[in-house]
Amino acid sequence: MVVLNDKEKEYLRNKIRDVYDFPKPGITYRDITTLLNDKKAFNFLIDHLVKRYEDTDFEFIAGIESRGFIFAGALAAKLNIAFVPIRKPKKLPYTTISEKYSLEYGVDEIEIHIDAFSTSSQNPPKVLLVDDLIATGGTALAAVKLLGKINVECVEACFLINLKSLKGDVQIVKTTPVYSVLEIS
- Residue 45 and residue 160 in contact, taking contact as beta carbons nearer than 8 Å: yes
DSSP 173: T
What was the pLDDT predicted at 185? 87
- Residue 11 and residue 41 in contact, taking contact as beta carbons nearer than 8 Å: yes
Q: Label residue 175 exposed, middle or buried (CB < 10 Å: 0-12, 13-18, 19+).
A: middle
Residue 104 has pLDDT above 80, yes or no: no
Name the least confident of 57-66, 77-86, 96-105: 96-105
Q: Collapse the DSSP code of 162 into the 3-class scheme (helix H, G, I; strand E, B; otherwise coil) and give the result.
A: strand
- Residue 34 and residue 15 in contact, taking contact as beta carbons nearer than 8 Å: yes
CA separation for the pair 182, 159 (Å, rounded): 8
* Cis ω for the linkage preceding 23 (within 30 of 0): yes
Which pLDDT band holds residue 42 (cuts at 50, 70, 90)? very high
What was the pLDDT predicted at 159? 98
* Cis ω for the linkage preceding 66 (within 30 of 0): yes
Q: What is the pTM of this model?
A: 0.96
CA separation for the pair 101, 173 (Å, rounded): 17
Q: Collapse the DSSP code of 181 into the 3-class scheme (helix H, G, I; strand E, B; otherwise coil) and give the result.
A: strand
**Percentage of residues of the chain with pLDDT beyond 70:** 99
What ranges do the domains of the chain cover? 57-184
CA separation for the pair 4, 6 (Å, rounded): 7
User: Looking at domain 57-184, does it have CATH number 3.40.605.10?
Assistant: no
DSSP 142: H
